[in-house]
Structure 1
């Protein structure tokens, strides 16, 4: 039997790794769940340990005396205001943690990163995204803390054979964790529930759910990562020799678009999508004071600026002068949820809904609306290939809509949104 350490155990991805490992006590005799606070109840073979990743390596070493394991999963992440700050803080957290532990038993360290590896936050990438794609040079591109973390990990393991590393690149994660609201499904569910509450008061025959993001992205493609699927991948990869010293995309295995998903979201919350929802000549539909479509007070548009990631391979693939490199990426919101969530009538509707349905009152203010705006507002595809993982022996798959539906069920049970059906 093996033991494991999961760092960031209360996050959306870390929580699922703890749950996945704990289902197999015959394989995992002890699981150390490390976080600043304890937000979950654990089985008897899961040991929660407090850790402050912003503390020094010496302090962490004191807090983690007696904690060692064959397998380490590092899922922690701290969002800062600038990429330089992200580089410094997240790199330091990993460096200090690695320094603090006794590694006499360690065989593999798995680091969870994400699709920012490919610069998808900077503009159009080269699709599909492959693990062999070149890292974006710094400069002209901004610092990418995933590069620093991976370099630190590679160096650490190379100096301590036979410790091996594995890295995962999930994208647009679908999951739920208590008290953690950087979650696409939570933002969408709250938007749908409050929109339903608003439109119910208008006495319309049909309740309409306007897509708040980019009309361009509505028909483009994205690849998502189910948090439980990612956990199963990590449990497989951390012990498989074929995954040693390798990085992998970890997405569901399908490519999805909101033209398929959004009508399902609407139906799930008892609403419909209006046939001409993207017409610039129409107003009304939806709620919140009238005029959802291209409303002056709620719409948003921003050019990402700088060279898009696809520019790194533009000469090689023949895209110089084709427009995609020169034009870059755009974020546009038909309804910016950052602006929408701050409107007085929206706040009143949420308070009314939360009071009537017994919901968690503070979740609306904690939702990461800017994150949802970004995910839905891009004007370019993000498609990650799973070919490398398949070739290594991974066969897992998750239907993306089913992943969303499962999380919506969890949100209902946790009293984050009301039960509509």
Structure 2
């Protein structure tokens, strides 16, 4: 009868893991940890509030009572910061504080495995085009010309901590991609901003819902990760003996593209698909909207592989360009857009801060990759994982859940296309 502690329990990944564990009868105790928000009351859950960014002693004090019979840890804590060096320092320190606190609280006596949730920064997708498909055996991007990556440091820390404890416990690292899920008051989620964008567009003017990103992104291939499927994977990885001391890609199992998904979004929200989605080509703005364009200071990740794949010199010195034909940050502040949102919010009794907490720049980056972004699931399959979900089904399930949480307006009550 396993017991677990979940850090970052109110985030997209953590929330899905908590809900999955609470629904499994064999998991008898689930301790949750977060900085401020609370988990809804459940007889199997003990929620603890503590900031991992602070000193170790308060963390020890908070967890020591519940750490005595702890068997599994699912570490989902993450602190965002636009300063990359600062983000590195914060997230490395958080994990170090937590591991030290576990030791001082006596948790290592019963601990069996720690599952660390990271993502596709593992492969440098934030730097530009990666080698594809991405495999767990791909070399890490360390040293010049690459920026520091706290995912690598966290994994090294986890490996060393297990070794220092004599191998009495093991670790697993997951690499999900563009997670689609629900987390209340935590809107760093593509589905939330996407639903808000489509809802307002369908209710304005002629109801056209143009894809705000780049034409190349629209036609590229991508993988996504359902938060629920990832939660199932984490539970499997925590218990599967063969998964110990391994890192795994975790995606839905299909390969999708916005050229297929976007018409589904438009149909769901009762809008119109523009007859010419990109009237000004690859880089022009859509109508009178302002476009967003930026050039990364970093060399794309594929440059690490160029000699091995016979493309020596093709990518060295290049820099990734990000283009969005509608700058969603500026779009979200337009008077007519905010007025329509306010109308929908009041009409359907929605959360008042949904709009302002939606991460519009996050959407910009995800919809503006001008390259495909596909990972291999072969390793997980070989280790015995069989989970799969259709990506559009995952989006629809998430939209439905966000509507029930009063974060998104009910799509069925918005204007339907004639």
Query: Do the aligned residues in 1 keep the contact of 2:39 with 2:47 (CA within 8 Å)?
Result: no
Are 1:185 and 2:179 an aligned pair? no
Three-state SS of the structure 2 residue aligned to 1:48 is strand
Equivalent residue for 1:392, pick from 383, 399, 413? 383
Three-state SS of the structure 1 residue aligned to 2:172 is strand
Residue range with higher mean Cα deviation, 207-216 or 304-313: 304-313
Task: Give unmatched runs, 5+ long, in structure 1.
Answer: 282-290
Equivalent residue for 2:357, pick from 347, 366, 388? 366
2:323 is aligned to: 332
Aligned pair in 2 of structure 1 residues 294, 131: CA closer, same or farther (>3 Å)?
Answer: farther
Query: Do the aligned residues in 1 keep the contact of 2:38 with 2:47 (CA within 8 Å)?
Result: no
Structure 1 residue 38 displacement after superposition = 3.8
Structure 1 residue 383 displacement after superposition = 0.4
Q: How does 1:40-119 map to 2 (within 5 A)?
A: 40-68=39-67, 69-101=70-102, 102=106, 103-119=108-124
Query: Do the aligned residues in 1 keep the contact of 2:202 with 2:272 (CA within 8 Å)?
Result: no
Runs of 4+, deviation exceeding 4 Å? none
Three-state SS of the structure 1 residue aligned to 2:173 is strand
Residue range with higher mean Cα deviation, 365-374 or 300-309: 300-309
Aligned pair in 2 of structure 1 residues 292, 122: CA closer, same or farther (>3 Å)?
Answer: closer
Query: Do the aligned residues in 1 keep the contact of 2:75 with 2:114 (CA within 8 Å)?
Result: yes
Structure 1 residue 127 displacement after superposition = 0.3
Query: Do the aligned residues in 2 keep the contact of 1:13 with 1:230 (CA within 8 Å)?
Result: yes
Are 1:18 and 2:52 an aligned pair? no
Query: Do the aligned residues in 1 keep the contact of 2:50 with 2:58 (CA within 8 Å)?
Result: no
**1:342-398 deviation per Cα after TM superposition (whole angstroms, max 9, x unaligned):** 212211111122112211121101100110000001101110100000000000001
2:415 is aligned to: none
2:416 is aligned to: none
Cα distance in 2 between the residues matched to 1:10 and 1:379: 32
The number of equivalent residue pairs is 403
Three-state SS of the structure 2 residue aligned to 1:21 is helix
Cα distance in 2 between the residues matched to 1:141 and 1:420: 43
Three-state SS of the structure 2 residue aligned to 1:72 is strand
Equivalent residue for 1:307, pick from 299, 304, 320? 299
Cα distance in 2 between the residues matched to 1:117 and 1:133: 9
Structure 1 residue 292 displacement after superposition = 6.7
Query: Do the aligned residues in 2 keep the contact of 1:329 with 1:380 (CA within 8 Å)?
Result: no
Structure 2-normalised TM-score?
A: 0.94
1:214 is aligned to: 214
Structure 1 residue 325 displacement after superposition = 4.5
1:251 is aligned to: 251
Cα distance in 2 between the residues matched to 1:84 and 1:46: 35
2:335 is aligned to: 344
